[in-house]
Amino acid sequence: MNKVLELKGIFDYKKNLSAFSRPNLRGSKCVTSEHLNNLISELEQISTFWNANNELIQGALVSVHYTEVVAKSNRVKALLINGGSANPNDFIRGAKFEVREGEPKHVFTYFVDMQSLKESVRRLTICEKTLEEHFDGRIDKSDIDNIYENQGFGVVGLSRSNFIQVIIDASFIDRFGIDQDAEEVQEDQIITLYQTGDSSKNILHKLGVEILQAKMLDKNTFLLNKNDVNTIKREAPYLISMQAKDMADYMPDDFEPAADASEGDLPDPINEPVIGVIDTLFDKKVYFNKWVNYSSLIDDEIEVSEEDMFHGTAVSSIIVDGPSLNPELNDGCGRFRVRHFGVALQKGFSVFSILRNIREIVSDNSDIKVWNLSLGSEWEVENNFISPVGAELDRLQNEYDIIFVVAGTNLPKNKHAPYRLGSPADSLNSIVVNSVTRNKQSASYSRVGPVLSFFNKPDVSYYGGDKNEFINVITPKGKKRVAGTSFAAPWIARKMAYLIYKIGLNREIAKALIIDSAAGWNLPNYDPEKIGYGVVPIRIDDIIQSQNDEIRFVMTGTSDAYESYSYKIPVPIRNDKHPYYARATLCYYPKCSRNQGVDYTDTEMDIHFGRVKEVKGGLRIDSLNKNTQGDPDSNGNQEDEARSLFRKWDNIKHIHDTIKNVAMPRKKYGIGNWGLSIKTKHRLSSATDKKMQFGVVITLKEMFGVNRIDEFIKLCNIRGWIVNTIDVKNRVDIYVKAEEDIRFDK
């Protein structure tokens, strides 16, 4: 086995130097005066509506139903936004998909002032009249080219640039509208209102709904009883951006007695790493109780039973002593201590209370880097907005240097597959784990992704038990045999803790190694909506080491500019060719905005990895997946293509070769260097303030089975890289030494 290498060097950085072409209609698109007239009529109706409802909010909420999944550059610029230097995207208050003609289309909700509505009607009216008088009611790309060439072209009351931009805006708009859901509810809800000019608390006061501070999650999100929710739905349903049930039914797992009822006998803990567990209650009478520091956050006045301790105790037993209980799943990670927080009962839990508890727990335990959360809701996650708990986990992981490992939730007994994942398995920054059988087939109780209609979830799968192949755990009733995603997740938490605490890797690299090891080389022969990128290997050695014919190395950098890159990665050459297959995995933890709906991640990192070749104007990376986004001479991809082909806006990127029956080494370009480029883009202007760290894992596989790792290390040293070998034994020894208590002689 070869050891994983750590390449350290200086990335080069550069700004986005792409030249902006003059705006024009795309391809064969055209705009008619009839279409403009329809848009005018819709905006006039919207203006009339908001003039009659201006006591609640000083402005207008307008939903723009686009003709496609639109890139940031193709959203409205000359309509709805009344001039000035403001970024039009900063007026967006929500985003969702609606299916029309069998395809998803973007719907964005904007909050604008009434003058902007009036100005938009004026601009559209001028453009409609111009099309009728000068273009026979229809304008296309060639007509706009002629306008650019005709310096004498002018429109009364509108600049030439604004005229063209209004036409382009209209080409991407299907219609304008006001979206509202007036359907009454039967239980308490967590409600999020659109962010408008007035505070949401004041708006609710005008509707006769009073909010206590204890019921506020943030300035726009509240826990409301069903009567107050229905009051809003009767009086102002257009103000509700998102809503979610507060009470979540606990997702039960299968428990049955174990054939071997004996329990382990553990030594006392010393300085083993600590994993945080947020779950149901814990039974202090179990044999491994000294390894668990337990706190209950359930009100003392609430009566609890032994049943409330089953799930939480079982989860912690895997983290502490899973390999002893399940020798066939011995991962080589050792034992871990647990800091266990009991926040839920077996019968269910309040989402609002869980949210409050998680915030407090994480902020008060900043020394814990890895958290396990195996609680999940029966209800399917929404297609168009993130769940409150999922959003909170993402926020915490962006702000703190932590990682959550989350169970993918189980199929309810009364539901049939396919059934979408339950909250909080829609958390994008977390590692979401589904369960498989021993032959790596999806477990019978598996639920499916994606989440937010697009993002890949689950991330990976692991062995969580199923019929006739249960997992052994410890409960208040002794050893039990169980099955569920709740018992797959703790095994991944153990591996993440080993990589972060004992090996000393950052969370970006640790997560990328987990994803990369699960994905492997071959195309999946399973459903990725159930399995994710693949099944994680049992042994930790198979994650932190590679085969003798493989070279695996990791790199870390920060988004200091639009592009972070290096063109100096040497891949060994034979007969003027590179005899290597390659794959690369990128992970990062973006800030996310729940109020942006399906456009949830604020930042996009795009990976290019492959051979470096000379082209007109400089050097270019011939990326493994033929990704040309951001290249100066590239026409780019439409937004829906960029998302489906290159996972644009996803916070995990995995690109790879597929091993073929006949090996065909790659042609060497120039001196034979390969390159890595990470391009960073932001949706919102506020997202550009914070630099983000990224981690990349790259694996090279020699096509003919030759071990060239020593040659690779020498070539790296020649090109200025500092190469560190991730020696597991040395790093574990360093960890143990660092955790020793030092006693000074008196």
Can the peptide bond before residue 388 be classed as cis, meaning omega within 30 degrees of 0? no
The predicted pLDDT at position 635 comes to 55
Question: How does residue 123 score in pLDDT terms, banded at 50, 70 and 90?
Answer: very high
Element (H, E) at 161: helix 160-171
466-470 contact pairs (CB < 8 A, 24+): 466/435, 466/437, 469/437, 469/438, 470/254, 470/256
- Pick left, alpha or beta for residue 27 (phi over 0 → left; psi -120 to 50 → alpha; otherwise beta): left
Q: What pLDDT was estimated at residue 269? A: 94
**Is residue 633 over pLDDT 60?**
no
Indicate if the pLDDT at residue 260 is higher than 90.
no
Judged by average pLDDT, the poorest of 15-24, 114-123, 286-295 is 15-24
Inter-residue contact 351 to 512 (CB < 8 Å): no
All structural domains of the chain = 30-177 (no CATH), 189-245 (no CATH), 254-506 (3.40.50.200), 547-732 (no CATH)
pLDDT attached to residue 293: 98
Which of 718, 551, 580 lies closest to 660 in space, CA to CA?
580
**Would you say residue 399 has pLDDT above 60?**
yes
Instruction: Please give the average per-residue pLDDT across 135-149, as a whole number.
Output: 94
The strand order across the sheet containing 240-245 reads 216-218, 221-224, 189-193, 240-245
pLDDT tier for residue 569 given thresholds of 50, 70 and 90: very high
pLDDT value of residue 609: 93
Please state the separation of Cα 655 from the chain's center in Å: 17
Beta-sheet strands, E only, within 183-273: 189-193, 216-218, 221-224, 240-245, 247-248, 254-257
Asked if residue 18 has pLDDT above 80, the reply is no
Least confident interval from 56-60, 280-284, 395-399, 511-515: 56-60
Give the pLDDT score at 137. Answer: 95
Per-residue pLDDT at 736 = 75
Could you tell me the CA-to-CA distances from 316 to 225, 261, 310, 354, 385 in Å, in that order? Answer: 35, 18, 10, 19, 31
> Is the predicted pLDDT of residue 310 greater than 70, yes or no?
yes
Give yes or no for a contact between 619 and 674, defined as CB atoms under 8 angstroms apart: no
From 258, 224, 257, 256, select the one nearest 243 (Cα to Cα). 224
The pLDDT-based confidence of 84 (bands split at 50, 70, 90) is low
pLDDT band at 479 (very low <50, low <70, confident <90, very high): very high
Query: Cβ distance 381 to 390 under 8 Å?
Result: yes
* pLDDT digit string, tens, across residues 363-385: 999 999 999 999 988 889 999 99
Q: Token pair for residue 575? A: 């007969």
Q: What is the pLDDT of residue 11?
A: 85
* Side chain identity, residue 539: R
How far does Cα 566 stand from its chain's mean position?
A: 26
CA distance 355 to 246: 11
Q: Which residue has the higher pLDDT, 19 or 278?
A: 278
- Mean pLDDT across the chain: 89
Residues of the chain above pLDDT 70, percent: 92
One-letter amino acid at 88 equals P
Distance CA 244, CA 224 (A): 11
**pTM of the predicted protein model:** 0.91
CA–CA distances in Å: residue 414 to residues 631, 643, 738: 51, 34, 51
Q: How many residues are recorded in the chain? A: 746
pLDDT of residue 464: 95
What distance in Å separates the CA atoms of residue 391 and residue 424, rounded to the nearest whole number? 8
Average of per-residue pLDDT across 480-493: 96
pLDDT of residue 644: 62
Distance CA 620, CA 605 (A): 18
* 734 dihedral zone (left: phi>0; alpha: psi -120 to 50; beta): alpha
Which stretch, 96-105, 497-506, 613-622, 729-738, has highest mean pLDDT? 497-506
Per-residue pLDDT, 181:
85
Distance (Å, rounded) from C-alpha 626 to C-alpha 640?
16
pLDDT digits (tens, 9 = 90+) for 185-216: 988 999 999 999 888 999 999 999 998 888 88
pLDDT at 405: 98
Nearest-angstrom CA–CA distance, 599 and 681: 13
Local confidence band at 728 (pLDDT 50, 70, 90 cut-offs): confident
Q: What is the pLDDT at residue 249? A: 64
Q: Which residues pair with 558 in a beta bridge?
A: 693
Query: Who wins on pLDDT, 443 or 687?
Result: 443
Model pLDDT for residues 164-179, shown as the tens digit of each residue: 999 999 999 999 999 9
Where does 498-567 have alpha helices with state H? 507-519, 528-531, 541-544
Average pLDDT score over residue span 593-612: 89
Burial 595-619 (b: 16+ CB within 10 A, else e): bbbbbbbbbbbbbbbbbbeeeeeee
Q: Is the pLDDT of residue 316 over 90?
A: yes
Confidence of residue 439 (pLDDT cuts 50, 70, 90): very high
Q: Which residues pair with 578 in a beta bridge?
A: 666
pLDDT at 285: 95
Beta bridge partners of 38: none
DSSP bridge partners of 276:
339, 371
With a cut of 60, say whether residue 56 has pLDDT above it.
yes
Q: What share of the chain is helix, strand, coil (3-state, %, to 5)?
A: 30, 30, 40
Token readout for 578 is 């590179």
Whether residue 20 is predicted with pLDDT greater than 70 in this model: the reply is no
The DSSP H or E segment spanning 230 is: helix 226-235
Token code pair at residue 404? 């959550």
Amino acid 83: pLDDT:
60
Of 591-605, 628-642, 689-703, minimum mean pLDDT range: 628-642
What's the pLDDT at 217? 86
pLDDT score at 257: 67
The pLDDT value recorded for residue 333 is 96
- pLDDT bucket at 659, cuts 50 / 70 / 90: confident
What confidence tier does 53 reach under pLDDT thresholds 50, 70, 90?
Answer: confident
* Predicted local confidence at residue 687, as pLDDT: 56
CB 683 within 8 A of CB 610: no
- Write down the pLDDT at residue 632: 58
254 has pLDDT over 70: no
